[in-house]
Amino acid sequence: MRGVARRGLWLPVVATAVATAVATAVALPACQVFRAVDFHPDDPAPERFRTEWQIHLTTPAPLAYFPEEFAVPGYDPKRRVVVAGSSKGEIVCADLQTGRQRWRYAAFGKVRSAPTIDREAVFIGTTDGSLYKIELAGGTLAWDKPFPTSGAITSPPALSSKLVLFQNDRGRLFAVDRATGEYRWDHGRPKPDFFTIRGEGGPTVKDEVAYVGFDDGTLAAMKVEDGATLWTRSLAGDTTQFIDVDARPVIRGDALYAGAFAVGMYSVGRKNGEIRWFHPAKGVRSPALGGDLLYFSTGDRELRALDVVTGKLVWRMKLAYGSMAAPTVAGDRVYLANGDSILLVGAATGLVEARLTPDDGQAASVAATGSWLHFVNNSGALMGARVR
């Protein structure tokens, strides 16, 4: 059965080309074929998924031909709320099922990432270089003032027991006191003299160690307490341009997974940073873990699934158009935004099972929990959709 995608509706689709092969982590054989996605809008199909509510955060400029929003929602499971920002700086907290607005906060800069929510507060950065701590209950600023830096913050902060860590697009990692917002330390690396990609992936914190990538192709592990370097590892290989480690690291057991933009995806040991496997790819986005698979999208419009232990390719799905955001994994589903639509992909198979086309398209990654999907579309609306 093929399918149809209408604005505001989730409808099932099936890719016309179905072929999968397993490749080694070192090279993709020329004979290997991939799953090609082809949509047929004239074919009828019953409705499976539906948009339930929306809250407008901003409105595209009148002359914006292709408006884009890059904010990603975040959840508080205890309160059952979703929090998201927008390019206008509006940050909203809403009931994740009904969309009822709990509060709204106006920041000075644009929001182009996800918030980090823990206990009773929301931590979120903006493009004017400010980090905010907002009370989750009432939506008021928890610190005396936002913590200022000289570079845009476009990735989520990470939390330790006492500190909040975040990175700006000047390549610096900052640590500030969670309770007061006071400066504790910062760390950076020399600016490369070659071309780099603007932006950063942000840190990941585990067991009071921060793992973070830099523009010069370096992945580093640092003590959260004082920023002391435990180890560094170059992920650049023989590549000399666009080697930024802009893919936010993810952790499974004693392994750390991170990617260099123009090089590929790596698995390294958390303790010493030794490379365990390498998978070549171009235009690597931040990865996501699901079971025994690691998912990431590429600049070649491919979504790939790798075995986390061996790095071998399990499947790959290629799109004929669009620019892929980082994938989101929820149970047996992978959600992928490609600029125009949000695709629901089978986590085990790589087959596209459904598609949602929001107004003006979807550039940013989405958030998913249980049967719910939340996203900020390119029209500037926070939307909640339910998987029935």
Alpha carbon distance 175, 205 (integer Å): 12
- Which range marks the domain in which residue 4 is found? 1-47+288-325+327-364
Question: Is position 27 within any domain?
Answer: yes
C-alpha closest to that of 125 among 184, 159, 85:
85
Evaluate whether 72 touches 377 at the Cβ level (below 8 Å): no
Question: Is position 8 within any domain?
Answer: yes
CATH number for the domain that contains residue 3: 2.40.10.480
Question: Is position 97 within any domain?
Answer: no
C-alpha closest to that of 136 among 162, 110, 118:
118
Question: Is position 69 within any domain?
Answer: no
Per-residue pLDDT in tens (0 to 9) along the chain, 388 residues: 333 333 344 444 433 333 333 333 334 433 344 444 443 333 333 346 789 999 999 987 776 668 899 999 999 988 999 999 999 999 999 999 999 999 999 999 999 999 999 989 999 999 999 999 999 999 999 999 999 999 999 999 999 999 999 999 988 999 999 999 999 999 988 776 665 555 688 999 999 999 999 988 999 999 999 999 999 999 998 887 888 898 899 999 999 999 999 899 999 999 999 999 999 999 998 999 999 999 999 998 999 999 999 999 999 998 887 889 999 999 999 999 999 889 899 999 888 888 888 888 999 999 999 989 999 999 999 999 998 7
Q: Is 354 helix (H, G, I), strand (E, B) or coil?
A: strand
Max CA distance (Å), the chain? 60
To which residue do tokens 């698979």 refer?
293
Question: Is position 319 within any domain?
Answer: yes
pTM across the whole model: 0.88
Give the DSSP per-residue string, 127-195: TTSEEEEEETTT--B-SSSPEE-SS---S--EE-SSEEEEE-TTSEEEEEETTT--EEEEEE-PPPSS-
Question: Is position 39 within any domain?
Answer: yes
Written in H, E and C, the secondary structure of 248-315 is: CCEEECCEEEEEECCCEEEEEECCCCCEEEEEECCCCCCCEEECCEEEEECCCCEEEEEECCCCCEEE
Domains contained in the chain, number: 1
In this structure, what DSSP letter does residue 243 have? -
Question: Is position 340 within any domain?
Answer: yes
Please state, as a whole number, how many other Cβ atoms lie within 10 Å of the Cβ of residue 31.
Answer: 7
Alpha-carbon distance values, 96 to 166, 262, 264, 342 (Å) = 26, 37, 35, 19
Question: Is position 113 within any domain?
Answer: no
Alpha-carbon distance values, 61 to 64, 277, 341, 382 (Å) = 5, 45, 21, 17
Alpha carbon distance 324, 201 (integer Å): 16
